[in-house]
Amino acid sequence: MSTNIICHSSSAGSSDGGSSGNSARTPNQAPKPNEPSKRGRAKTRRDNEQLILQAAECIFAEHGFKGATTSQIAKKAKLPKANLHYYFPTKEALYRKVIDRIFNIWLEAASAFDDCEEPADAFTCYISKKMDISRNHPMGSKVWANEILHKAPVIHDYMQTTLRDWTDNRVKIIQGWIDDGKMAPVNPKFLLYMIWATTQHYADFNYQINTLNNGAPLTDEQFEEAKAQAIKIILTGIGIPVGTDRSTDATPCKSGEVPL
């Protein structure tokens, strides 16, 4: 997909609405002879859904679930409101999809715990990928943060099931490394909270970071330095020596790339 939504502090759209001319059609309506092929329609659907999700991240991050409207999101995506409701029937369905998308991106980053045998490798992978996600998906992280700040009124069930199960599984893995003497005896949950706070700071408080960086976003070099320092400080704190290539490499494990 070549069209991306760019988020600003206001809700006015600034992206190219290249897919806005494709109107929604009910599933039972037969295609006309001059309509795109089935593959072309599938691509249009994917592109439109991505445009809507990107726009929704911006609007939900700025206005919250209650303050956001589907009209605002459709305008940001430069698509007819009817198209938005064709893909996402309700605002809550769209909101939950936004939440689900950022959570699944985080889950992909956490595959390091399954793919790496050593805690040095796993934590290096995880922290590095979480930092990259904060840079590439800041609005998704902000939507999540806003939801949690309001005691998760929409995704309370998600917190009680998916997030709890995921956290419990990672706690067991970390505790296993502690029991094997591979890292210092720390509370695994508190360690995860520290990693989340550190890495997601670069998304949720990016305006503060930019302000303190002379009003400009971190350069690639600065961001890599921030990432390396986060890895070094956390690994040192849990008793893992830092200084080898393995403990500073961003992707020492076999896990795949985090989706952008």
The DSSP annotation for 40-68 comes to: HHHHHHHHHHHHHHHHHHHHHHHHHHHH-
pLDDT at 241 over 60: yes
Least confident of 2-16, 64-78, 82-96, 101-115: 2-16
Residue 142 and residue 204 in contact, taking contact as beta carbons nearer than 8 Å: yes
In CATH terms, the superfamily for domain 99-237 is Tetracycline Repressor, domain 2 (1.10.357.10)
Please tell me the total number of residues recorded for the chain in this structure: 260
Which amino acid, one-letter code, is at 78?
K
Residue 79 and residue 52 in contact, taking contact as beta carbons nearer than 8 Å: yes
Give start and end residues of each alpha helix (H) in 153-219.
Answer: 156-158, 164-179, 188-204, 206-212
Its pTM stands at: 0.74
Q: Where are the domains of the chain?
A: 1-89, 99-237
Q: Which fold has domain 1-89?
A: Arc Repressor Mutant, subunit A (1.10.10)
Amino acid 29: pLDDT: 53
For the residues 191-217, what does the mean pLDDT come to? Answer: 96
Amino acid 13: pLDDT: 37
3-34 per-residue burial string, b: 16 or more CB within 10 A, e: under 16 = bebebeeebebebeeebbebeeeeeeeeeeee
C-alpha–C-alpha distance, residues 154 and 142, integer Å: 15
| Higher-scoring residue by pLDDT: 35, 146 | 146
| Higher-scoring residue by pLDDT: 164, 11 | 164
Amino acid 210: pLDDT: 96
